[in-house]
Structure 1
Amino acid sequence: MTAPTIHHGSSIPIPPAQLASLIDAHPKPPTLSSYSYGTAGFRYPAPLLPCAFVRMGIFSALRSASLGGEEVGVMITASHNPEEDNGMKLADSNGGMLDAAWEEHAVSLANAPNSKEAMVLISTLTRYIKGKYPQKNGGLPKMVVHVGRDTRSHSPGLAKLVVRAALAMGATVIDHGEVSTPMLHHFVMHANGHLLPGIIPQRCNESGYYEIMAFSYAALLRTGKLDGVGGKRLANTKELVIDGACGIGALKIDTFRKIFGKLNAEGCVGLPMLRTVNFPGEGPLNEICGAEYVQKLQLPPNLYSPKDKLMGMSKGYMTSFDGDADRVVFHFEDVNGKFHLLDGDKIAVLVSSFIQEELRCIDPDGQAVKCGVVQTAYANGSSTLYLKNVVKTNVVVAKTGVKFVHAAAHHHFDVGVYFEANGHGTVLFGPKFYDFIAQADAKLRGTPRNNRANIALRRLRLLPALVNQSVGDAMSDMLLVDAILYLRGWDLNTWAQLYSDMPSKQAKVKVADRTVIATNDNETAATAPEALQKALQSAMDAMAAAENRSDGPKPRCFVRPSGTEDAVRVYAEANTQNGADSLASEAMMLIYKLCGGVGSPPQPFITNRL
C-alpha cells in the first residue's frame, strides 16, 4: 500500500486559450465516429482514448464544482476487456455512477469536433455552476477529483492526461495509483463523509478500505459462536483459491491475507486461508481466466501461476474476479472432476435469503423493511422462481447494465440486492433499514447476547460496512458470501443444490444497423421490428409444447441490440441444453432475416430440436 499523491491545482485556472491548446493537442481520432458512454463509461482500444481523457479530466473538475465542492472520481479501466482496451468510469460524490443528466454532458464534451466547440460547452457548464454557487472571487467552487487506474500498460499514461486536465481547471487531484474500481468508488464515497450513514465508519484511504471490510467480516464470523447452529468451517472451505484474472485484484487481496494472519494470531476463528493465483504478469489480463470467461463459457479458468504456487491446491472452493475486481463468481470441481459454477444469480439467492432470515428473527411479519432482488433479463429463470417461491421476496427486472439495476435497487427497496449473472452486484441499504436497526437496538437492549433476535441485529448492523454501498466489489462480495457459508455450515456443493439452473445459450448476430432493434424498458421483449417478437413468441411456444413440462419455468428467449457494436445479442433458455441451443438458433435466424443480418447466415448450434 502506498499513500495517494495529492496534486494541488492553481487557484487561478489557466487562460481559456491554453485550455483550448491542451484539447487541441489530443484531437478526436479520425477513425472514430463518436464516443458513447455505455453502462459503465467510455471503453475503446487504448489509442483512441487520449482525446476523451483530456476532456473528461476537465469535465470531472466541473462535476465536482457543480456539486458545491463535493469530491468525485475517475477510474481508468476496461474491466473484463482484453489488455489492449481501456476506458473510464466516472464516480459521483455518493460513490455511485455518474448522474444520468451529467452523463449527457460528458458525452457531448467528448464528441465536440474541435476545441472551439468544446470550449463553448465548458463555458456553458461553468456559467451554470457559477450561477448556482457564486463565489466571492468570481471563480468556481472547490474542485476535488480522485483518480485510480488498473494494471494495464497504458493506464499510467492515460491517468496523467486526466490529472493534467483537471489541474488545468484548478482542481485538487488525489491520485491513488493502482487500485481496484470498487476501491476508487469507496474512496469517493467516504471522502464525502456527510453522505455516509452513521452506521458506517468513515475510512477514506486504502488501509481504511481493508480494515473496515476485514474487521466487519471477522465480527460477522464471530456471531456464529452465539446461535449454536452455524459457525462451522468445513474441511473443503478452509482454503479459498482466488483467480485474480491477472489483474489488480490479485495484488490487492494480499493485504487481506496479512490482516487475516493478524486476526488469526489474536484468536479469531473461521478465517479461511486465502490463496491467490493469476497475478499480473503471470498471464494475459482476462484471457482464458477471470469472472467473465468463467461465467460466459462455464469453464474453469486457466491457471497461469508457476507450478510451485499451485502445489497442493484444492479446486473445491474457488472464486474468480475480473480485471478490475468489481465482479466475482464462485466455482468448484467435485470428486469426479466435474466443474460447477455459482454465478451472480446464485449469489443473489444466497445473500437475499440470509438477509431476509435475519430480518425475520427481529420482525417475524416482515413488514418493517421492504426487501427485494433486482435482476436483468439474463437472470436464469430457475433463480427467479426460487426467489419468489422459496425465499418469498420481491423481484424486479431492470434493463441490463449496472447503472440500471443499481438505480432500481435504490428506488424499489429498503434493502435491495442485485447481482447480474456475470457476478457484478451488491446490497444497498436505505434509510428505513437504518431506522429499523436503531429501533431494534433500543428494543433489544439488555437482552441476552445469544438471544436469536440479538444475534440477527448484530449481523445486520455489520452488513452496510462489509458490503460496498457504492458499487459491486469482488473482494467485499467474496467475504460476504464466505461469511454466510460459514454461518450456515455449508460448502459450495450445498449452496449449488438449492436449485438447478435452466440450460441456456448466448449468441450474437451481426447486423447492418443495430438501431433497427428496439425493446421494452427491461429488454425482455422486442418492440421493433414489429414481426420479430411475434415470431420469437411462436418459437418459445413451440419449444414449450415440445418439452411438454408442467413444472418449472418455461422456455424463453429475448434479443437486445449491442451497446458497443452493430450486432444483436441473443439469450435463450429451456429445460434441456439442446432445447436452449435450438431456441437460440431460431432466434439468430429470425434476426438475420428480419433485422438486416450481414455476412453468411448464422449456423445452428444443433440440427434437432430436442
Structure 2
Amino acid sequence: MSSAPKIHRGNSVPISNDQLAALIDAHPKPSAISNYSYGTAGFRYEASLLPCVFVRMGIFAALRSASLGGEEVGVMITASHNPEPDNGMKIADSNGGMLDAAWEKHAVSLANAPTPKQALVLIDTLSKYALGRHPLAQGNPAKLPKMVVHVGRDTRSHSPPLANLVIRAALAMGATVIDHGEVSTPMLHHFVMHANGHLLPSIIPQRCNESGYYEIMALSYAALLRTGKLDGVGGKRLAHTKELVIDGACGIGALKIDTFRKIFDKLNAEGCTYGLPVLCTMNFPGEGPLNENCGAEYVQKQQLPPKLYSPEPKMLGLSKGYMTSFDGDADRVVFHFEDTQGKFHLLDGDKIAVLVSSFIQEELRCIDPNGQAVKCGVVQTAYANGSSTLYLKNVVKTNVVIAKTGVKFVHAAAHHHFDVGVYFEANGHGTVLFGPKFYDFIAAADARLRGTPRNNRANIALRRLRLLPALVNQSVGDAMSDMLLVDAILFLRGWDLNTWAQLYSDMPTRQAKVKVADRTVITTNDNETAAVSPVALQKALQSAMDAMAVEENSVDGPKPRCFVRPSGTEDAVRVYAEANTQSGADSLASEAMMLIYKLCGGVGSPPQPFISNRL
C-alpha cells in the first residue's frame, strides 16, 4: 500500500568550509538566470536551471531545522500544475505550513550568491544565528541542535536527481534526512506537521508516515459518513454519485488516490462501512503528458472537461455526472459534471468555500444557536467571483476577508482573523484552519452534552465537528482531503453536484494581460483590489465600472468589477473583469487593457478588444 521512508543519517560533524565550497561549486549558478525568485510557494523554473538552487536549499533546510531547535522541516520537489519540463521546490516549516516569510529572504539570498565564497558567508551567518538561539552549542559546531529534513518528490523524470542533491547537501551539514520518495505535496506537509507532534492539537491523532496519512483520513471520512444514519436528513448515496471519477492530471495524485480506492473497495466488500463511493481513477502517470489538457489548472482556467488519457475500458459504463480534477502535485481540486444535455459545469474553489463554510456554520449553530462562541469566516482573493462573496455574506451570513493573491497570504489571513477560517482560491487550492477557541469550544460542548441521546442534533453536530480537524489537512491545500470533505458534506445533505451548483450563478468573467515596459509603475493596495499608482488609473477604472453598472442596470445584484495587478514574473499587468453578462465582462476588460496600455507604458501594438455579441 505504501513504502516506508528511507532514513539517512548525516555526518556527525559538518564538513569543512572547503568541502562545502566544493559541493556548491560543483553546481554553479547558470548564466541564463540573473536572479532566482521565491514565488508564492517556492522556487520554480525549467528543471535544468535548478541544481544550483537545490544544493543550496538542502543546506538551507538543515540550518532552518537547527534554528528551530531541531524541529523537523520539509522540502518538496515539484512544479505543481506547471508543464512536465519545469520543476521546483516548496519548503515546509515545522508547523507543516509554508516557510516563514522572514526566512524567505535568506533562502533567496543564498540561492543567488554569485560565488561559493559568498554563499559560505551567508551559511556562516545562518549557522551563527542557529547557535545563538541555543547558547549551549556556541563555539562548537558538533553541538549544533539536531537537524531533520523530510524530502518528497513528484513523478517528474528529473525529480529523483534533484531530490538527491537536496539529500546530499543536507547530509553534509549533519542533518538526518527522511526520504519519502514519490508523494503528493500535501502528504509531505502532513508528515512534517505530524513529526512535530508537540505542535498538534490533542484532538488529532499523530500519524507521521504514509500509511498513517491514509488511515487518519479514511477513518475520519468514514466516521463522518456514518453520522448520516443519525439525523435522518441526508446520508443517502444518490445513484449518480456512487461512482466518483477522478482526473489525476497524469501525476502523483492518481497513484495515491488509488490507494484510497483499494481501502474503500476492501471496506465496501466487508460491508462494515456506510456510503463509501467507488473511486474511479483516471489519468495515471505515463498515460499522458503531466497537466496537459487535464488537471485542476486546465479545467478551472479553460472551463473545459479534462482529456481522459486512460485506456477507454476504464471509462466504460461510468457516468460523467460526478467528477473531480487534481493538479500535478495534488494540492488543488475542482469538481465538475456534464448534465443530461452534455453541458459542462464547473464547481471551483469559490463553490467549495461556500459549501464547506455553510456546513461548518450549520453544525456549530446546532450547538451554539447564537453563534457567538467561535468566530468563523472565509478568506478570498480579488479573483473570487463576486456572486460567491455576496452569497457568503447574505445567505451563509459569514465574515469575508479579502487577502492578497497567493496561498501564503490567504493562509495567514485565515489564521489571523478567524477561529475557524476557510479559504479556497478559485483554482481549488484551500483548506480549513481550526484555532484554539474551536478546540476549547469542542471540549466544553463535549462536557455539556455527555449523557445526552446519540441522535440529539447537538450531539450529532459535535461528532461531526470533532472529526473535521483530522480529516482536513490544515497544513496546506490537499486535493485528496478536500475531495473527501466535499463528498461527505454532499452525502450528509443528500445532494448531487447539480444541486450544489444551483446555490448561486457565477458572474461572467474575463482575464487578460497587457505587456508594459516596466511593471513596477503599477502599485496596488494591500489586497490588490485597487490600483494606487499611476494615480489616474484607478479613477479611470472606477468610471468604467460605474458606466457598466448603469448599462447593465445593476441595482440590487452584484456590481460589475475590474482590478489590475502587476505580474510577479514578467513585465506585464494582469486584468480581471466581471459583469452580469459575458459581453459586459469582455467590454470592461477591453477598456481596462487600453487604459493600462495608455497610462502604464504599454509596449507593442495596442491590445485588441474582446469581441462578443451584446445580448
Q: TM-score range by the shorter chain?
A: over 0.9
Q: Which moved more, 1:25-34 or 1:373-382?
A: 25-34
Matches within 5 A, 1:191-340: 191-264=195-268, 265-340=270-345
Per the alignment, residue 177 of structure 1 pairs with: 181
State yes or no: 1:189 paired with 2:193.
yes
1:138-186, Cα deviation, whole Å (9 max, x unpaired):
4311000000000111111110110011011000000101000000000
Q: Give aligned-pair identity as a percent.
A: 87
Q: Provide the C-alpha distance between the structure 1 equivalents of 2:56 and 2:87, rounded to a whole number of angstroms.
A: 16
Find the partner of 1:414 among 401, 419, 425: 419
Query: How many residues are aligned here?
Result: 610
Q: Identify the match of residue 394 of structure 2 among 383, 389, 393.
A: 389
Normalised to the residue count of structure 2, the TM-score between the two structures is 0.98
The reply on whether 1:352 has 2:357 as its aligned counterpart is: yes
Conserved 8 A contact 1:582-1:609: no
Please report how far the alpha carbon of residue 313 of structure 1 lies from its aligned counterpart in structure 2 after TM superposition: 1.8
Q: Choose which of 448, 454, 463 in structure 2 pairs with 1:449.
A: 454
One-letter amino acid matched to 2:237: R
Q: CA deviation at 1:599?
A: 2.1
Cα deviation per residue 1:407-435 (whole Å; 9 max; x = unaligned)?
Answer: 00000000000000000000000000000
Counterpart amino acid of residue 200 in structure 2 = L
Is the CA contact 2:583–2:612 (under 8 Å) kept in the aligned structure 1?
no
**Cα distance, 1:591 vs. partner?**
1.3
* Distance in structure 1 (CA, Å) of the matches to 2:12 and 2:603: 55
Contact 1:77/1:86, CA 8 A, preserved across alignment: yes
- State the Cα distance separating 1:311 from its structure 2 match: 1.1
1:41 counterpart residue number: 42
Partners of 2:106 and 2:125 in 1: CA distance: 10
What is the CA-CA distance between 1:3 and the residue it aligns to? 1.0
1:11 equivalent in structure 2: 12
8 Å CA contact retained: 2:586, 2:612: no
Structure 2 partner of 1:28: 29
Do 1:560 and 1:570's aligned partners in 2 also have CA atoms closer than 8 Å? yes
8 A Cα contact 1:135 1:141, kept in partner: no
**Distance in 1, Cα, partners of 2:34 & 2:464:** 51
> Once the 2 structures are TM-superposed, how far is the Cα of residue 190 of structure 1 from its aligned partner?
0.2
Shift in Å at residue 606 of structure 1? 1.3
Instruction: Return the offset for 1:609.
Output: 6.4
CA–CA separation in structure 1 for the residues paired with 2:573 and 2:26:
37
Q: CA deviation at 1:561?
A: 1.1
The question of 1:536 aligning with 2:537 is answered no
Letter of the aligned partner of 1:232 in structure 2? K
Query: For the residues of structure 1 that align with 2:265 and 2:415, how far apart are their CA atoms?
Result: 36
1:145 aligns with 2:153: no
* Residue equivalent to 2:607: 602
Query: How big is the shift at 1:568?
Result: 1.2
> Which 4+ runs in 1 deviate beyond 2 A?
134-139, 607-610
Q: Deviations over 1:221-254 (max 9, x none)?
A: 0000000111011111000000000000000001
The runs of 5 or more residues in structure 1 that have no matched partner are: none
2:74–2:149 CA contact under 8 A, matched in 1: yes
The one of 578, 582, 589 aligned to 1:584: 589
Q: Which residue of 1 aligns with 2:513?
A: 508
Distance in 2 between the 1:235 and 1:309 partners? 19
Which residue does 1:91 correspond to in 2? 92
Q: Residue 134 of structure 1 contacts residue 140 of structure 1 at CA under 8 Å; is this kept in 2? A: no
Per-residue displacement from partner, 1:457-515 (whole Å, max 9, x unpaired)? 00000000000010000000000000000000000000000000000011111222221
| Greater shift in the superposed pair: 353-362 or 308-317 | 308-317
| Equivalent residues of 1:232, 1:270 under 8 A apart | yes
SS at match of 1:508: strand
Q: Which amino acid aligns with 1:357?
A: E
Q: Report the Cα distance in structure 1 between the residues aligned to 2:286 and 2:94, rounded to whole angstroms.
A: 34
Q: Distance in 1 between matches of 2:232 and 2:612?
A: 55
Say which of 564, 567, 570 aligns to 2:572: 567
CA RMSD of aligned residues (A): 1.0
**Are 1:400 and 2:386 an aligned pair?**
no
Q: Name the residue aligned to 1:479.
A: 484
How far 1:589 sits from its partner (Å)? 1.4
Matched, 1:366 2:367: no
**Take 1:160 and 1:598, find their aligned partners in 2: how far apart are those partners?**
43
